[in-house]
Amino acid sequence: MKLSDLSPKQWYDRLAAKAGRQREKALGWWQYMDLEQPLIYVARILAEQDDRFPPLLLPWPELVVETVVERMKLEDFLLTNEESVDDLGKWWAANDMPTQSPEAWEAASTGGEHFFMVGPDGPGDMPMLTTEYADQVACELDPRTRQPIAGLKLWHEELSDSSQELNGALYLPKWPGVTDRRFGRGMVHEFVNGELVASSDLGEWSATIANDKSLPSVPFVPILTKPRRGEGRSDLFALKPLVDGANQFATNMMAAGEHHAVSRKYAVGVSQKDFVDENGNQIPLWKVAMGDVWAVPHPKRDNRNDNPLPVQIGQFSASDLRNFHESLKVLAQFTASKYGMPPAMMGYSSDNPPSAESIMYSLERLILRTEAHHTWYGGSARRAAQISWAIMDNDPQAIAGMTPKWKSAAMPTIASAMDAAVKGVQGGIFDAEEAWDILSFSPQRQKRLRERMAGRQATFQRTALNLRNIDVGSAAGVDQGAANGVGVGNGAAAVGA
């Protein structure tokens, strides 16, 4: 059966099952982000210690993801001539995307996929734009265009009796018939607990996007990390075995610190009955062995008349834990080399203090990784903006060359951006107005700066002209306004006085 021949119920079952698979896939990666992952090597260690202390789990997954997300800020949407599309920026801000988009980038980086959902009836009669997790949305992709041709949004609602019902909104295009080569207006089918309860037509915009091969046929846009054959892959894929091993060494270090980092005592010539608690109850031997004192009894005497051997008590030297430190450092170096993390971010550094040039060089791989994410996620933001454009009864091809403008990954802070701007102006590479763009100054702020600079330039030129025309003896040729201190300052007035 062709996909276009499936009934809404069949589509619902197909996509709901896919959402369940996506949830299982994403859950495994989110467990690493939340330090709740299954214990691979550590579980046996804890069992041998009778679970006397929790595992030490290193937050490297969060570090790897957030170092990229922190450098991702979508600032504007630009046409091919670099003119800003004001409406798109306005819609982006109205839907609170400056606040919500970092969550979307983090979710896509962690689980490998996330989604934009676009629709009408947004704030202030603008399009509605939201971000959705992989367990909330599932899409069917066209094998040729890799764009969604069907989409399902799922959510739970709590009822008055504290039970929950599962709601679903299934979006389907109206596929062309035998004689019609164009898509018609799509439909949305509402489901409650898996049963179809209502269907309604979408607006004319649904036919517009369905007939554009560069856009999804339904208002869902996947946000994929490292896309491969229409699917994303988590940024944590290569980190998983490294952090599992690091967690084992870290937990082993905690166990060694408890048993060996402090000097251990030993007693030779004692027996089990010598070890009782404050209530006179016998202490199990394994607790004695794992405690602060190692006790060893004397061997049995062959002759009772022999003198008993003396009890010996002593202390061992404390253990050095540097072998654990070095092992963790090696795993941190492996992680840093794979993900382009500077040594300082991974908690280790060389013996020699790094120079400014070496610090910048160490950031190159991280900057390139961030720019790759700009490409992946920027394409999704562009398609979501084009769907929004169509919802407002505009032709999405009118902004087909539009690209998102990201804040430079190499200059994420105002200090780094200011440093680059100053060097560019001083080197004659660009002027002050280009520096304002690098600093992400708003058009309104640039206008105010331009007016103030023009005012200061006019004042300077008038003052220079007055000084050239001054007759020291008679003050001839002096602009009287300047001589009275108007527009020039007290210094000019004093010269002409």
pLDDT tens digits for range 139-185: 999 988 899 999 999 999 988 888 899 999 999 999 887 777 889 99
Whether the pLDDT of residue 126 is over 90: the answer is yes
Q: Quick one: pLDDT at residue 174?
A: 93
C-beta atoms surrounding 109 within 10 Å:
28
Give the pLDDT mean for 264-280. 65
Question: pTM, whole model, 2 decimals?
Answer: 0.77
Three-class DSSP category at 153: strand
Q: Does a structural domain hold residue 248?
A: no
- Both 375 and 457 in one domain: the answer is no
Q: pLDDT tier at 5 (50, 70, 90 boundaries)? A: confident
Whether the pLDDT of residue 488 is over 50: the answer is no
pLDDT tens digits for range 56-86: 899 999 999 999 999 999 999 999 888 889 9
- Both 8 and 81 in one domain: the answer is yes
Q: Are 12 and 152 in contact (CB under 8 A)?
A: yes
Q: Does a structural domain hold residue 437?
A: no
How confident is the prediction for the chain on average, in pLDDT? Answer: 83
CA proximity to 153, closest of 178, 185, 190, 187: 190
pLDDT tens digits for range 202-244: 999 999 999 999 999 999 999 999 999 889 999 999 999 999 9
- Both 195 and 279 in one domain: the answer is no
359 CA to centre of own chain: 22
Q: Which of 295, 317, 339 is the last residue of a domain?
A: 317
pLDDT tens digits for range 431-485: 777 777 777 777 777 788 888 888 877 787 778 777 777 765 555 554 555 445 4
CA proximity to 387, closest of 379, 396, 398, 378: 396
Q: Quick one: pLDDT at residue 495?
A: 38
What is the number of domains present in the chain? 3
- Both 230 and 298 in one domain: the answer is no
Q: Quick one: pLDDT at residue 291?
A: 54
Q: Does a structural domain hold residue 288?
A: yes
Q: Does a structural domain hold residue 299?
A: yes
Three-class DSSP category at 113: strand
Provide the residue range defining the domain that includes 287. 263-317
Q: Are strands 293-296 and 265-268 parallel, antiparallel or unpaired?
A: parallel
- Both 8 and 144 in one domain: the answer is yes
Q: Does a structural domain hold residue 312?
A: yes
Instruction: Please state, in angstroms and rounded to a whole number, the distance separating the CA atoms of residues 436 and 456.
Output: 18
Instruction: Please state, in angstroms and rounded to a whole number, the distance separating the CA atoms of residues 475 and 464.
Output: 15
- Both 190 and 308 in one domain: the answer is no
Q: Does a structural domain hold residue 336?
A: no
pLDDT tens digits for range 307-356: 666 766 666 666 777 888 899 999 999 999 999 988 888 887 766 666 66
Joined tokens for residue 177: 């018939």
Q: Does a structural domain hold residue 352?
A: no
Q: Does a structural domain hold residue 183?
A: yes
Q: How far is CA 42 from CA 39, 324, 380, in A?
A: 5, 15, 39
